[in-house]
Amino acid sequence: MAMQTTSSNESAEPMMEMNMTPLIDVLLVLIIMFIITIPIQSHAVKLDLPQNQQNLTPPPVDPIKNKIVITQAGAILWNGAPVDQGTLRQYLDASQQMNPVPELHLQPEADASYGLVDEVLAITKRAKVEKMGFVGNEAYMNF
């Protein structure tokens, strides 16, 4: 503690204020040491990545023409093989990458669900199919 004296010869009284500078210096050194000794946090995100796909067969896309049949039972057939809507989109994307782009023939059965036919048409539109034709329209002549 520092002693405070006045110019007059009064009694010297101790200064009642504490010097904060050494305390702050010590705290700053402790904070820096604490920051240095903390291990670095590693944030890991678990991802399920696709495995090696070398042994998978390429999609059965014909380079000349492909045919989509929509059955009365609600099945979608790609060149005779049943597919779901996600697989259909993959096949359409693969066919649009070919050069030249193969034709796509859409053949809904006469009693097929209109909603399913509409969904398939929406999928072909999103896949930006360039060459598409409707096959078997003569089945609708009786309706």
pLDDT exceeds cutoff 50 at 1: no
Rounded average pLDDT over 25-51: 84
- pLDDT of 73 over the 90 cut: yes
Q: Is the pLDDT at 70 greater than 70, yes or no? A: yes
CATH of 65-140, one of 3.10.100, 3.30.420, 3.40.50, 3.30.70: 3.30.420
Residue 143 binned pLDDT confidence (cut-offs 50, 70, 90): low
Spatial contact of 106 and 119, defined as CB atoms under 8 Å apart: no
- DSSP string covering 90-101, please? HHHHHHHTSSSP
Q: Please tell me the predicted confidence (pLDDT) of residue 74.
A: 92
3-state secondary structure 33-83: HHHHHCCCCCCCCCCCCCCCCCCCCCCCCCCCEEEEEECCCCCEEECCEEE
Whether pLDDT at 44 is above 70:
yes
Give the residue ranges of DSSP H helices in the chain: 21-37, 85-96, 114-126
Residue 53 in this model has a pLDDT that exceeds 70: no
Chain segment 81-139, per-residue pLDDT in tens:
999 999 999 999 999 998 888 999 999 988 889 999 999 999 999 999 989 999 887 76
At residue 107, the pLDDT reads 92
Helix/strand/coil for 22? helix
* pLDDT band, very low/low/confident/very high, at 50 (cuts 50, 70, 90): confident
Per-residue pLDDT at 2: 53
Instruction: Tell me the mean pLDDT in the region 19-41.
Output: 88
Residues of the chain with pLDDT > 70, as a percent, come to 83
